[in-house]
Amino acid sequence: MTTDAGAAITGGRTALGIELGSTRIKAVLIGPDSAPLAVGSSDWENQFVDRLWTYSLDAVWTGVQRSLAALADDVRRRHGVELSSVGALGVSAMMHGYLAFDADGALLTPFRTWRNTNTGRAAERLSAEFGVNIPHRWSVAHLYQAILDREEHVGRLDHLTTLAGYVHWQLTGEKVLGIGDASGMVPIDAATGGYDATMLARFDQLAAEAGVELSLAGLLPAIAIAGQQAGTLTAAGAALLDPTGRLRPGIPLCPPEGDAGTGMVATNSVAPRTGNVSAGTSIFAMVVLERELGRVHRELDLVTTPAGDPVAMVHCNNGASELDAWAGLFTEFARALGSEVSSSQVFETLFTAALDGASDGGGMLAYNYLSGEPITGLEEGRPLFLRSPDSRLSLSTFMRTQLFSSLATLRIGMDVLQKDEGVRLDRMFAHGGLFKTAGVGQRFLAAAIDTPVSVGDVAGEGGAWGIAVLAAFAASGSDMSLADYLETAVFAGASLQTVEPDPVDVAGFDAFMRRYVAALPVERAAVEHLAVGTPPAAETETTSAVLTEEQPA
Give the DSSP letter string of 14-50. -EEEEEE-SSEEEEEEE-TTS-EEEEEEEE---EEET
Q: Which of 88, 284, 300, 310 is nearest to 180 (CA)?
A: 310
> Taking a C-beta distance cutoff of 8 angstroms, is the pair 171, 184 a contact?
no
109 lies in some domain: yes
CATH of the domain at 23: 3.30.420.40
Say if 332 falls within a structural domain: no
Strand positions, DSSP E, 438-531: 453-456, 496-499
Whole-prediction pTM value?
Answer: 0.84
Q: Please report whether residue 491 resides in a domain.
A: no
In contact, 326 and 343? CB cutoff 8 Å: no
The range of the structural domain enclosing residue 70 comes to 2-266
- The residues near 177 (Cβ < 8 Å, ≥ 6 apart) are 161, 162, 164, 165, 168, 185, 221, 222, 223, 224, 255, 256
Reduced 3-state DSSP string for 320-382? CHHHHHHHHHHHHHHHHCCCCCCHHHHHHHHHHHHCCCCCCCCCEEEECCCCCEHHHCECCCC
Q: What interhelical angle do 321-336 and 343-354 show, nearest 10?
A: 110
Q: Are 176 and 100 in contact (CB under 8 A)?
A: no
Give the C-alpha separation, 198 to 372, whole Å.
Answer: 31
Relative to beta strand 24-30, strand 15-20 is antiparallel
Q: What is the pLDDT of residue 534?
A: 53
Dihedral sign (CA 114, 119, 122, 126): positive
Inter-residue contact 143 to 160 (CB < 8 Å) = yes
Does 73 fall in a domain?
yes
Tell me how far CA of residue 151 lies from CA of 112, 121, 185, in angstroms: 14, 15, 19
Give domain status of residue 469, yes or no: no
> Is 515 within the bounds of a domain?
no
Interhelix angle 503-518/441-449, nearest 10 degrees: 70
Instruction: Decide if 244 is inside a domain.
Output: yes
Closest C-alpha among 381, 260, 388 to residue 312: 260
pLDDT at 2: 58
Q: Could you tell me if residue 85 is inside a domain? A: yes
- Closest among 167, 191, 200 to 181, alpha carbons compared: 167
CA–centroid distance for 242 within its chain: 26
Beta bridge partners of 373: 378
In the three-class reduction of DSSP (H, G, I as helix; E, B as strand; rest coil), residue 393 is classed as coil
In the chain (553 residues long), the average pLDDT of successive 10-residue segments reads: 80 96 94 94 92 94 98 96 96 94 97 91 96 94 98 97 98 98 95 96 98 97 98 98 96 96 92 90 92 91 94 93 95 95 94 97 97 92 96 97 97 96 91 88 96 77 92 95 94 87 97 98 96 54 47 37
Is there a contact between 512 and 408 (Cβ–Cβ < 8 Å)?
A: yes
Instruction: Mention every residue, 6+ apart, whose C-beta is less than 8 A from residue 245.
Output: 238, 239
pLDDT at site 51: 86
Q: What share of the chain is helix, strand, coil (3-state, %, to 5)?
A: 40, 20, 40
Rounded-to-integer distance, Cα 423 and Cα 339, Å: 49
In this predicted structure, what is the pLDDT of residue 547?
63
Q: What is the pLDDT of residue 79?
A: 96
Beta bridge partners of 15: 30, 88
383-415 CB burial, b ≥16 within 10 A, e <16: bbeebeeebeeeebbbbbbbbbbbbbbbbbbbb
CB 134 within 8 A of CB 114: no
Give the C-alpha separation, 424 to 415, whole Å: 12
What is the total count of domains within the chain?
1
Are 302 and 132 in contact by the 8 Å Cβ rule? The answer is yes
CA distance 192 to 194: 5
Rg (alpha carbons) of the chain, rounded to whole number: 23
What sign for the dihedral angle of Cα 430, 23, 264, 489? negative
